[in-house]
Chains A and B, each alone.
Chain A
């Protein structure tokens, strides 16, 4: 009983919720209750969650602004799609082909993550942001100009679409894997080191945290999962086009992370689901002449949410009417803790991070060059 009391149920909540939803939907599919359009939307939502959660590792926990996440996804989609197209004849369009292409797509994206992690050791803030954006565009341009035989060039790469209703189950299992890896990483001593770098890089170095190693790890892990999302994406499409992965897509993933609250995994999941759902819903509701309204509504909602959530002038208003207080009122504070209770809180990762440091130019240039060391004879 005592053991149950100390069980950190909060940390396993998101797995449980996703697993329950997954089981419900799986049962519905197997009994024929779900149309293909719904499962297709579920696949999209799963891909968005993987992308948002992995980007959240870089932006929310490592504290580096990345605008090139779609670039890693692009690598995964193209290489994974190519591998599956090559293997489909010999191995068939089954689970084995899928796993091999998933692995290769993920690894290739991870290598790209390593490459983009290297400038991240030197650059900060906006400069790193534009570098990641540039990387994404470079990757896209390269795939766009490949020959027809290799990656399909401007027409796009034809992939063996995995047109099975139950593919969304695979997608959600991968969501669970993503959550397990990234949350286990964050809630460990290694994750603590990563958040320390975000909070104060200089202090982290002075405390002995290997900043180089952890920055690279952050970028690589995020890239691998973006690569996985890319492979999943290639499986939901019959044709992968490089135009999909432009910087607007990277920004859309960033929007999910920011709306969900920086440094909050659950927030990223909810925001990814909501944004993807909203996008799809608006696309189906608004057809014909009304189709242009979709972007308009999306943009307006985005602006209003950000201003509402962040405006310093609305702080008092937010304090009075927020979900947490509302929840506490309804449940009569039964679930809300007011005292700092250490056993429950030691692993708390705050959702509101001051991001000023992230986007400012005030940063250390560690390579300030002092004068050349003098030779021994010049000491006199």
Chain B
């Protein structure tokens, strides 16, 4: 067992000669909230896409709890324990809030129910459905969304859609949760609310969190350690305070 939940080794990808990311080494400890920051186009979301199997890395590899996940499909990586949210929210818009979370519970061992059992409406089907619903409501309660469980996802206000996406990701029982700009477009009140929720997650769910964020106040308030990217490469790494005061980082953000 590796001491790190996520470890990447020289992870990188190039598209037609363009190196979107290269030589990225991350080591994230269990229970950490880890930040990934950098200017626009620095390759942050690309790293997320590599870690979730949307893209296949052209160089390097990555491990989750010591198990190599390179070249696995997106579904498989999710089964192994990496879940994510998206920069531009991707919910199942025509489904209710509750059903969105229940899709997240789909692959859990305790909610196994074969297609034949569902088609024949065997007792297990009803039991699993009932338990899934109860579990989904529990998760929604943490995010304070349980009152909206019957609303269609597309009818939720923006801040709640973001939360629902996190709830859905969390329902898949991940070891590592990737949050892509969770506070984007939120007002200060919602951001504060989100910060509390993320901290609550760490306490209640035994999950490690890697997040991308532009709101440096949010990052410094919540992250234990961060990595700063620019032009696809790491320019600084360390505790939040250290990294943010690095001259390279200040140069990348403010210019000379």
Contact of A206 with B83 in the complex, beta carbons under 8 Å: yes
Q: Is B25 an interface residue (CB 8 A)?
A: no
Contact of A189 with B102 in the complex, beta carbons under 8 Å: yes
Chain B residue contacts of A368, Cβ below 8 A: 15, 55
Contact of B75 with A348 in the complex, beta carbons under 8 Å: no
Chain B residue contacts of A75, Cβ below 8 A: none
Contact of B52 with A196 in the complex, beta carbons under 8 Å: no
Assembled-state Cα–Cα distance A108/B74 (Å): 32
Assembled-state Cα–Cα distance A373/B11 (Å): 11
Q: Which of A200, A204, A346 contacts B93 (CB 8 A)?
A: A200
Q: Which of A191, A196, A217, A348 contacts B92 (CB 8 A)?
A: A196
Q: Is A193 an interface residue (CB 8 A)?
A: yes
Q: Is A251 an interface residue (CB 8 A)?
A: no
Q: Is B1 an interface residue (CB 8 A)?
A: no
Contact of B172 with A208 in the complex, beta carbons under 8 Å: yes
Chain A residue contacts of B111, Cβ below 8 A: 189
Contact of A371 with B16 in the complex, beta carbons under 8 Å: yes
Of B37-45, B148-156, B227-235, the one with at least 4 CB within 8 A of chain A: B148-156
Chain B residue contacts of A181, Cβ below 8 A: 119
B interface footprint on A181-217 (CB within 8 Å = 1, 0 otherwise) = 1001100111111011011101111111111000001
With both chains docked as a complex, state the minimum distance between the C-beta of B146 and any C-beta of chain A, in angstroms: 9
A interface footprint on B178-197 (CB within 8 Å = 1, 0 otherwise) = 00000000000000000000
A 347-380 contacts with B by CB, 8 A: 347-350, 353-354, 366, 368, 370-374, 379
Contact of B58 with A207 in the complex, beta carbons under 8 Å: no
Contact of B103 with A209 in the complex, beta carbons under 8 Å: yes
With both chains docked as a complex, state the minimum distance between the C-beta of B14 and any C-beta of chain A, in angstroms: 5
Q: Is A285 an interface residue (CB 8 A)?
A: no
Of A48-56, A270-278, A337-345, the one with at least 4 CB within 8 A of chain B: A337-345
Contact of A192 with B106 in the complex, beta carbons under 8 Å: yes
With both chains docked as a complex, state the minimum distance between the C-beta of B11 and any C-beta of chain A, in angstroms: 12
Assembled-state Cα–Cα distance A342/B98 (Å): 9
Q: Choose among A195, A370, A371 the residue with the greatest number of B CB atoms under 10 Å from its CB.
A: A370
Contact of B91 with A203 in the complex, beta carbons under 8 Å: yes
A 198-239 contacts with B by CB, 8 A: 198-200, 202-211, 217
Contact of A204 with B94 in the complex, beta carbons under 8 Å: no
Chain A residue contacts of B78, Cβ below 8 A: 205-208
Contact of B94 with A189 in the complex, beta carbons under 8 Å: no
Contact of B107 with A208 in the complex, beta carbons under 8 Å: yes
* Nearest chain B residue, comparing its CB with the CB of A263: B94
Known A-B contacts A370-B14, A370-B55; the reply to A207 vs B103 at CB < 8 A is yes
B interface footprint on A87-111 (CB within 8 Å = 1, 0 otherwise) = 0000000000000000000000000
Contact of A208 with B106 in the complex, beta carbons under 8 Å: yes
Contact of B79 with A208 in the complex, beta carbons under 8 Å: yes
Known A-B contacts A195-B95, A346-B133, A370-B56; the reply to A185 vs B107 at CB < 8 A is no
Q: Which of B55, B93, B149 contacts A199 (CB 8 A)?
A: B93
Q: Is B36 an interface residue (CB 8 A)?
A: no
Of B121-129, B216-224, B236-244, B245-253, the one with at least 4 CB within 8 A of chain A: B121-129
Assembled-state Cα–Cα distance A349/B169 (Å): 22
Known A-B contacts A350-B152, A370-B14; the reply to A185 vs B95 at CB < 8 A is no
Contact of A207 with B168 in the complex, beta carbons under 8 Å: yes
List 15 contacting pairs A-B, 8 Å CB cutoff, sorted by A: A184-B119, A188-B119, A196-B103, A204-B103, A205-B73, A206-B90, A207-B103, A345-B150, A346-B149, A366-B54, A370-B13, A370-B14, A370-B58, A372-B58, A374-B58
Q: Which residues from chain B sit less than 8 Å from chain A, CB to CB?
A: 10, 13-17, 52, 54-59, 73-75, 78-79, 83-84, 86, 90-96, 98-99, 102-104, 106-107, 111, 113, 115, 118-121, 125, 128-129, 132-133, 148-152, 168-169, 172
Q: A193-B103, A202-B54, A373-B58 are in contact. List 8 more A-B contacts (CB 8 A).
A: A184-B119, A188-B113, A207-B172, A209-B107, A346-B150, A347-B99, A370-B14, A371-B16
6 tightest CB-CB pairs across the interface, nearest first? A208-B78, A188-B118, A340-B150, A199-B92, A203-B90, A345-B150
